[in-house]
Chains A and B, each alone.
Chain A
Amino acid sequence: EVQLLESGGGLVQPGGSLTVSCTGSGFIFNNYGMSWVRQAPGKGLEWVSGVSANGNWTHYADSVKGRFTVSRDNSKNMVYLQMNGLRADDTAVYYCAKDGPYLWYFDYWGRGTLVHVSS
């Protein structure tokens, strides 16, 4: 059974940093690209960042480019999102999502981890 489990969310002050993690199991982790998608309170889903299966390619939404860094460790079946320069509008539940057989179409999601940016 495919499972994605996010961790590392919490309360952080504006301008601060936080790294959230996602552990994948039940599939060949290094065969699939992974993405982070967030949902701010009362809003819809917003794609944040993606990383290729081998980690060589990373992509970002304009709203986080230059502040967030995605990476993965295939030896640990983990993907990370390092978030710097956090702002109040980064407050959201952050979900990890797995590419399916077709690139950039997600076929599994995690349950999410809440990041709250507030002083």
Chain B
Amino acid sequence: QLVLTQSPSASASLGASVKLTCTLSSAHTYDAIAWHQHQPERGPRYLMKLNSDGSHIKGGGIPDRFSGSSSGAERYLTISDLQSEDEADYYCQSWDTGPQVIFGGGTKLTVL
């Protein structure tokens, strides 16, 4: 069964970079994921679909400051030149047989 593991929180300073991690459970290390941003009082926003080889397809209007990469079972979301509006919850998402859509627990990003 697919499990997506994320750290509950992360923080970085305005203008700095931060790298968020989503770890796939064993037997799913080659699966793709999607990253979504969820700001308070708003609907989630699709950022990108990220493949195991690090290639990614970003959503329309997503700034170049957002990028994705992969290493083994880990999928990363890097946000460069952090802005105050980047403060949000970030979720990774994929699917398992059934099908069942699976979300990670989310990472709450604080911009200092």
A residues at B contact (CB < 8 Å): 4, 35, 37, 44-47, 50, 59, 61, 95, 97, 100-112
In the assembled complex, the CB of A94 is this many whole angstroms from the nearest CB of chain B, namely: 11
Q: Is B26 an interface residue (CB 8 A)?
A: no
Q: Is B45 an interface residue (CB 8 A)?
A: yes
Q: Is B95 an interface residue (CB 8 A)?
A: yes
With A46-B103, A106-B93 given, name 16 new contacts (CB 8 A): A35-B101, A37-B101, A44-B105, A45-B91, A45-B103, A45-B106, A47-B101, A59-B98, A59-B99, A95-B43, A102-B32, A104-B99, A104-B101, A105-B49, A109-B46, A111-B43
11 residue pairs bridging A and B, Cβ less than 8 Å apart: A35-B101, A45-B36, A45-B91, A47-B101, A47-B103, A100-B46, A102-B49, A105-B32, A106-B34, A107-B59, A111-B42
On chain B, which size bracket covers the interface? Answer: 20 to 34
